[in-house]
Structure 1
Amino acid sequence: MRDAVPVSRQFFRDFAHLATPYWTEKGRWRPRLLTGALALLVVCQIGLVLRLNVWSADLFDALERRSTEHAMEQIGIFLLILCGTMAANMGHLAVRRHLQLDWRRWLTGRVIGRWMDASRHFQAGLIPGDHANPDGRIAEDIRVMTEAAVDLASTLFYCLLLLVTFVGILWSLSGWITVAGIAVPGHLVLLAFLYAGIGAVVAFVLGRPLVRTTDVRQTKEANFRYDLVRARESAEPIALARAEQAERGRLTAAFETIAFAWRDQSVGLARLIAFSSGYVALAAVFPILVGTPRFLEGALTLGRLMQSAQAFQQVTAALSWPVDNLPRIAEWRASVERVLALQEAVQVVTLEAARAGETAINMDRAPGPWLGVSDLWVAEPDGTALLNNLTLRVEPGEHVLVDGDPEAAAAFFRVVAGIWPWGYGRVDLPADALMVAIGRRMYLPRGTLRNALALPEAESNPGDEAIQAALTDVGLEGLGARIDQSEDWSEVLNGADLQRLAFARLLLLRPDWVVLGDATDALDPVSADALLRLVATRLPQTALVLIGQHPGSAETFNRRLTLERPKGGEVLLNEVYARRQAARAPKRRPLKVVDWLRQGYPADGPSTTHG
């Protein structure tokens, strides 16, 4: 247990570091006003609940006296309380949802800004750790994290105020009772705490087996969906084999496993809902039964008896907050962990990319018109050696092929392109000249082909004639009539056409330096060589470095450099290597008590304490 304390503190500290700048940054008045308004509305809700409790006593006292005048007066007061409650609840909902969306918008922009900056989104995907599927973490986990946090904080504040308010009322209404000759004050408060505690324990015992049956059912549901997807993806083989009957039988059998799991879950839910129904019903009657002797003795009026019953229900409802919200707390904690893991990965690669001096890759402007590297050592993302002591210098107009080990070539291309921070040495970029780096697939935003071929690097974009001429030169003349057609071109075009389109963009942009990474591997040898000759003819002063596999002839290049990957796993970056080893070690989950308690409360089960 001693080790769990710093883990939890670290969790809450990291969560606060990520989330609280929404309120604490300079000039953030809107979040503060929304939060203050939400707290004020919660206070109003508590005030209305308190007034309703007093109204209940006044009403029943009026009925006990058979006073028509006072009873009609209480009806008017109730209408005012009702209108106030409706207005407060509506305002609370509006402000709460506004705060949730605004916080989510701010946090989403913050996380995306850090993730989609200086190639961090690419680099983070290369290091080990629990940060896969960043799209889900940004779209779904941030939503759950912000919505659940506001909901939990709001309801906790409500229940704390409810508890503080109604414990005092219940204490004053309890009076004194004599137990074994001893006068005991506030007995209803003690009974409320005891009642809520027993309810939580019984619900935990009844709900514990339900967690297992719920997990089994979810597993069977997932298996059934997987079988359906597999059947869809294997549609042609199934049809050719005339195996529809066998596949239908397999899918039916898979569904029947869901039916068995459903029945087991239903039995567990029935037990839990039977207890929950009885618990809720008894909570309304129990304090009346306890207070009836005092009422019959004349120590309590009917109004005070009913008021104490309502106060008892409010206290037990407030005490049930941890039980009722355990699934929500577990869901929130899991989402926070996932967002923090993504943030940690981005911070790690940001730290590693910020290295400088002799232990870093230094990207500098060359003193003359050339592109090259000197004394370059490239490491894997885990810090081990990938390339050793590489030197290369490319002059204007040269065409150089760099091939060899595929992984080493890919890393070298990314180093020159400026998106690979692992290693050390010097990269000389051409001074005052336009350099373009294109990988295996050119980036094509969704939209028109004209916009996809837009040239932000140039002072002006080319006209229709220039675009159609470039498309014709690279063998894509069929696209000339579709340049204003909006499509997801990265999905519409095949790999070879995408690489042809990249060369068309080079012809339009006319850069001084071109670095290609596996940019011809989807083409046939004749087409690959033809495109390189086209660049040499149309852009004779442009230097081109193709790094990776080239299906054509090496004779189309002026020089060729073959990369070899060193053997033995030499460690180049000791700090990075140590960090990766630590990242692979299993991590303890914070707030383990939530997981333990959660085992008795299924997320899709009924409330075990109050309706």
Structure 2
Amino acid sequence: MAEDHATLHVSASKNTRHLLANFWRLCRPFWVDRAHWWQAWGLLVLVLSLTGGNIYLNKWFNTWQGDLYNALQTLDFGAFKKLILEFCWISGLTIVAGVYSTYFQQMLQIIWRRWLTRSLLNQWLTEQNYYRLQLTDHKTDNPDQRIAEDVDEFVSRSLGLFLSTLSDIGTLVTFSALLWQLSGPLRTILGGHQLVIPGYMFWIALVYAVIGTVITFWIGLPLVRLNFFQQRYEADFRYGLIRLRENADAVALYKGETQESTILQQRFGNVMSNFWLLMKKRKALGFYVSSYTQLSILFPMVVMAPRVFAKQVTLGVYIQIADAFGQVQGALSSFINNFTEWARWKSVVDRLSTFQSGLDQVAVMPRLQPEYAGQSMQVDLQSVTKPDGEVLLQDVSWSLQSGDRLMIQGRSGCGKSTLIRALAGIWPYAHGKLAYPEQGSTLFLSQRPYLPLGTLREAMYYPCPPRHDDAALAQLLELANLQHLQPQLDKRDMWSHILSIGEQQRVALLRALLNPPGVLLMDEATSALDSETEATLFAALLARLPGCIMVSVAHGDELRPYHNKVLSCTAPGNWQMT
């Protein structure tokens, strides 16, 4: 039994150190950032000063209560009138300090949240980490929720709990001294000897709070794990709804409503099942905390009542002791009163630290970083594999000069699309060297184009800023048989849902003409086009981009006339250039 307790103690100690290390890793960069440290620390000092002012005002109010009840007990009307005026000062200062403390805390909160959100967004978007993360890290679920919601909760709860803890410490020190002084010593006979306990009400408050904290921890510990899973299940359910909305046309065509409903009901079932467990644990904890809080109001009054009836203390001192006991007990019981907040805070720290660890891991992963030099595209791939290690390509080299056009062919599943992603520098399981022409950018066109939120004009120029050359744009729209979209260029809409896949592919191909690249990589970018439109657009690409190096993935030989080189997969892992 003793060994079990020792093991649990060591485990809890390690978990606490791990939690604090994760918290420090998340918050430290903000507080040492020289760009705004003066603003952050200035606001923190200001909030702490106001918090200290609130503690002083609470002590002043304690003294005021004692004087008021003494004046009432002695029927001193003159003193009563002065105390009413004094209360106006205490009340006014308390209101001002409380309002501005909250205001400056929220100001610090939004500054911190803005910084942390930008930091995580930059890490997530830098060098396609968002793409690598979903391939390599299966612990990080729903990055969108981590950035949008967990950051907000992390900042608000960290600040709130930190400031409330410091306030509790200040209150504990201030009112412990007052309680010690007011309660005086307790003299009793124990075993024939006189026992004197100085400041006995302080010790009673301490023992009361310690016992309450231990019981609260025992009852509420499962809340930490349940809160973690609740956030995960909520995010999974929301992601399922978003995914259904984004693929509404495909689901409707398949008439897949029954299966989608089953999936969503299952995910919502996880939300409900976990929430029921949360409710039960919160109910048990709520019963205990409420009972504990109510008892703490009556407890000091009962303990001190004999001294009042014995006329050892005045009514004013009695009220002061009861208030001071409540302040000390409340400060010592901070963990009890905020246990649910601490549990939620830990789950948020765990989720954000998992996300940060995933970002740190993909940031140091080997990358097939292209070099930009010369006029040719040099490829020397030692290996390209699947995430499970299966080799798709090994020891393949080739060189493409300005104006060369390479077509990649092979059976489905041989790794053509993966090879294109490796050439684009985003596939994390590729090893070798890439060299691109020094002049010009690299443009990648996928089978299902990406159309960003915004206007159609912005979608056509993506990822470059849009230009307002309507005459040139009208000519290209007519070339792609998209002239009917001319009046809607500056209309904001869900274009990925409005346009057919063929129209989306034509919009994407026009990007290459609007923003001429040095290297154009296409992964079945014309698969949804009829042969006549496909021929027209490829002819336009060849005519308008004579020096562009093109690499295309295709299944058949329809695109063979537009390419002067072919890379074929002759067997699994074996490729041949002709």
Q: What TM-score results when the alignment is normalised by the length of structure 2? A: 0.82
Structure 1 residue 349, shift from structure 2 partner: 1.9
Q: List aligned pairs for 1:9-20, cutoff 5 A.
A: 9-20=17-28
Amino acid at match of 1:25: D
* Residue in structure 2 matched with residue 493 of structure 1 by the alignment: 499
* Residue in structure 2 matched with residue 65 of structure 1 by the alignment: 74
Q: List aligned pairs for 1:88-167, cutoff 5 A.
A: 88-167=97-176
Alpha carbons 2:142, 2:236 under 8 Å: kept: no
* Residue in structure 2 matched with residue 482 of structure 1 by the alignment: 488
* Residue in structure 2 matched with residue 577 of structure 1 by the alignment: none
* Residue in structure 2 matched with residue 519 of structure 1 by the alignment: 525
Secondary structure of the residue aligned to 2:461 is coil
* Residue in structure 2 matched with residue 340 of structure 1 by the alignment: 353
Which of 431, 442, 457 is the equivalent residue of 1:450?
457
C-alpha distance in structure 1 between counterparts of 2:462 and 2:468, whole Å: 8
C-alpha distance in structure 2 between counterparts of 1:344 and 1:223, whole Å: 20
* Residue in structure 2 matched with residue 30 of structure 1 by the alignment: 39
C-alpha distance in structure 2 between counterparts of 1:429 and 1:272, whole Å: 63
Which of 68, 86, 92 is the equivalent residue of 1:83?
92
* Residue in structure 2 matched with residue 592 of structure 1 by the alignment: none
Alpha carbons 1:57, 1:306 under 8 Å: kept: yes
C-alpha distance in structure 1 between counterparts of 2:145 and 2:288, whole Å: 37
Amino acid at match of 2:528: A
Structure 1 residue 567, shift from structure 2 partner: 6.7
C-alpha distance in structure 1 between counterparts of 2:141 and 2:240, whole Å: 24
Aligned-residue CA RMSD (Å): 4.2
Once the two structures are superposed, residues 451-508 of structure 1 have per-residue CA deviations (whole angstroms, 9 ceiling, x without a partner) of 33337879x9472122112112122221122112222323332322111111222233
C-alpha distance in structure 2 between counterparts of 1:95 and 1:442, whole Å: 46
Match status 1:301 vs 2:314: yes
Alpha carbons 2:54, 2:94 under 8 Å: kept: yes
C-alpha distance in structure 2 between counterparts of 1:336 and 1:138, whole Å: 12
Alpha carbons 1:440, 1:517 under 8 Å: kept: yes
Q: List aligned pairs for 1:410-449, cutoff 5 A.
A: 410-449=417-456
Distance 1:317-1:289 versus aligned 2 partners, 3 A rule: same
Distance 1:551-1:311 versus aligned 2 partners, 3 A rule: farther
Amino acid at match of 2:405: H
C-alpha distance in structure 2 between counterparts of 1:487 and 1:426, whole Å: 41
% identical aligned pairs: 29
Secondary structure of the residue aligned to 1:426 is strand
* Residue in structure 2 matched with residue 583 of structure 1 by the alignment: none
Alpha carbons 1:220, 1:258 under 8 Å: kept: no
C-alpha distance in structure 2 between counterparts of 1:184 and 1:33, whole Å: 44
Structure 1 residue 344, shift from structure 2 partner: 1.9
Which of 167, 174, 186 is the equivalent residue of 2:183?
174
C-alpha distance in structure 2 between counterparts of 1:506 and 1:227, whole Å: 34
Amino acid at match of 1:296: F
Once the two structures are superposed, residues 496-533 of structure 1 have per-residue CA deviations (whole angstroms, 9 ceiling, x without a partner) of 21111112222333445322123123335554444324
C-alpha distance in structure 2 between counterparts of 1:487 and 1:92, whole Å: 43
Alpha carbons 1:513, 1:543 under 8 Å: kept: yes
Amino acid at match of 2:125: M
Which deviates the most, 411-420 or 433-442? 433-442
Distance 1:221-1:147 versus aligned 2 partners, 3 A rule: closer
C-alpha distance in structure 2 between counterparts of 1:322 and 1:104, whole Å: 25
* Residue in structure 2 matched with residue 284 of structure 1 by the alignment: 297
C-alpha distance in structure 2 between counterparts of 1:565 and 1:339, whole Å: 44
C-alpha distance in structure 2 between counterparts of 1:432 and 1:390, whole Å: 25
Alpha carbons 1:115, 1:121 under 8 Å: kept: yes
Alpha carbons 1:518, 1:550 under 8 Å: kept: no
Structure 1 residue 157, shift from structure 2 partner: 0.5
Match status 1:54 vs 2:60: no
C-alpha distance in structure 2 between counterparts of 1:494 and 1:446, whole Å: 16
Amino acid at match of 1:374: D
C-alpha distance in structure 2 between counterparts of 1:481 and 1:265, whole Å: 54
C-alpha distance in structure 1 between counterparts of 2:98 and 2:472, whole Å: 63
Structure 1 residue 543, shift from structure 2 partner: 3.5
Structure 1 residue 334, shift from structure 2 partner: 1.7
Match status 1:373 vs 2:379: yes
Match status 1:193 vs 2:202: no
If asked which structure has higher relative contact order (CA below 8 Å, sep 6+), I would say: 1
Q: List aligned pairs for 1:463-478, cutoff 5 A.
A: 463-478=469-484
* Residue in structure 1 matched with residue 403 of structure 2 by the alignment: 397
Once the two structures are superposed, residues 83-117 of structure 1 have per-residue CA deviations (whole angstroms, 9 ceiling, x without a partner) of 11111110111011111111101111111112111
Distance 1:407-1:314 versus aligned 2 partners, 3 A rule: farther
Distance 1:231-1:420 versus aligned 2 partners, 3 A rule: closer
Distance 1:217-1:393 versus aligned 2 partners, 3 A rule: closer
Alpha carbons 1:397, 1:541 under 8 Å: kept: yes
Secondary structure of the residue aligned to 1:117 is helix
Distance 1:41-1:212 versus aligned 2 partners, 3 A rule: closer
* Residue in structure 1 matched with residue 29 of structure 2 by the alignment: 21
Which deviates the most, 328-337 or 308-317? 328-337
Structure 1 residue 450, shift from structure 2 partner: 2.3
Once the two structures are superposed, residues 357-415 of structure 1 have per-residue CA deviations (whole angstroms, 9 ceiling, x without a partner) of xxxx4523354x33231354224456663320112222333332113254622222122
* Residue in structure 2 matched with residue 602 of structure 1 by the alignment: none
Distance 1:430-1:183 versus aligned 2 partners, 3 A rule: closer
Once the two structures are superposed, residues 272-323 of structure 1 have per-residue CA deviations (whole angstroms, 9 ceiling, x without a partner) of 6665555434322322222222223332111111110111111111111111
Once the two structures are superposed, residues 532-580 of structure 1 have per-residue CA deviations (whole angstroms, 9 ceiling, x without a partner) of 2442345444432103556845454333212367579xxxxxxxxxxxx
Secondary structure of the residue aligned to 1:116 is helix
Alpha carbons 1:379, 1:386 under 8 Å: kept: yes
Structure 1 residue 350, shift from structure 2 partner: 1.8
Q: List aligned pairs for 1:203-214, cutoff 5 A.
A: none
C-alpha distance in structure 2 between counterparts of 1:468 and 1:496, whole Å: 19
Distance 1:67-1:158 versus aligned 2 partners, 3 A rule: same
Secondary structure of the residue aligned to 1:378 is strand
Amino acid at match of 2:423: V
C-alpha distance in structure 2 between counterparts of 1:161 and 1:391, whole Å: 70
Amino acid at match of 1:282: L
Which of 341, 344, 362 is the equivalent residue of 1:328?
341
Distance 1:311-1:464 versus aligned 2 partners, 3 A rule: same
Structure 1 residue 61, shift from structure 2 partner: 1.1
Distance 1:188-1:408 versus aligned 2 partners, 3 A rule: same
Q: What TM-score results when the alignment is normalised by the length of structure 1? A: 0.78
Once the two structures are superposed, residues 103-138 of structure 1 have per-residue CA deviations (whole angstroms, 9 ceiling, x without a partner) of 101111111112111222222221123112111100
Structure 2 unaligned runs (5+)?
A: 1-6
Distance 1:74-1:548 versus aligned 2 partners, 3 A rule: farther
Which of 415, 435, 449 is the equivalent residue of 1:408?
415
C-alpha distance in structure 2 between counterparts of 1:210 and 1:376, whole Å: 50
Moved over 6 A (4+): 204-237, 264-272, 455-458
Distance 1:268-1:478 versus aligned 2 partners, 3 A rule: closer
